[in-house]
């Protein structure tokens, strides 16, 4: 089973929703009108999409041993993955610095 780009986006978006609501993920997903395939991708540890989530978690947590093991099992070059991760951080930083207001305007309030 393959998922569309929109479905994969939803998988990533809702994969950590339990941390936001401090509720079990199963309970939250049961209440959401998501396609069954999206829910399975999030919940089923044997689902290939779930493996990608585990992979991304290991990168975000800096668990490089697990990252390398999962990358190897997915036939990914760890060097390329690391380079892509660093590039994503750079790109994100650039976007954040571009979007931060340099001067107050009508919609920004200065506290001090």
pLDDT tens digits along 32-50: 999 999 999 999 988 888 8
pLDDT tens digits along 3-35: 888 888 899 899 999 999 999 999 999 999 999
pLDDT tens digits along 75-102: 999 889 888 888 988 998 988 888 666 5
CA nearest neighbour of 4 among 38, 40, 30, 43: 38
Please determine, for residue 112, whether its predicted confidence score (pLDDT) is greater than 50: no
Q: Model-level pTM greater than 0.85?
A: no
For 95, the token pair is 């976007």
Domain borders along the chain are 1-44, 48-100
CA nearest neighbour of 73 among 88, 58, 86: 58
Q: In angstroms, rounded to a whole number, what is the distance separating the alpha carbons of residues 4 and 19?
A: 25
């Amino acid at each position: 089973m393959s998922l569309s780009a929109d479905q994969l986006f939803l998988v990533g978006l809702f994969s950590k929703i339990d941390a936001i609501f401090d509720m079990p993920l199963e309970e939250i997903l049961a209440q959401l009108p998501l396609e069954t395939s999206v829910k399975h991708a999030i919940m089923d540890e044997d689902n290939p999409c779930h493996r990608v989530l585990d992979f991304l978690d290991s990168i975000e947590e800096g668990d490089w041993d697990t990252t390398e093991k999962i990358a190897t099992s997915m036939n990914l070059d760890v060097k390329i993955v690391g380079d892509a991760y660093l590039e994503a951080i750079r790109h994100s930083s650039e976007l954040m610095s571009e979007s931060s207001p340099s001067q107050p305007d009508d919609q920004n309030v200065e506290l001090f």
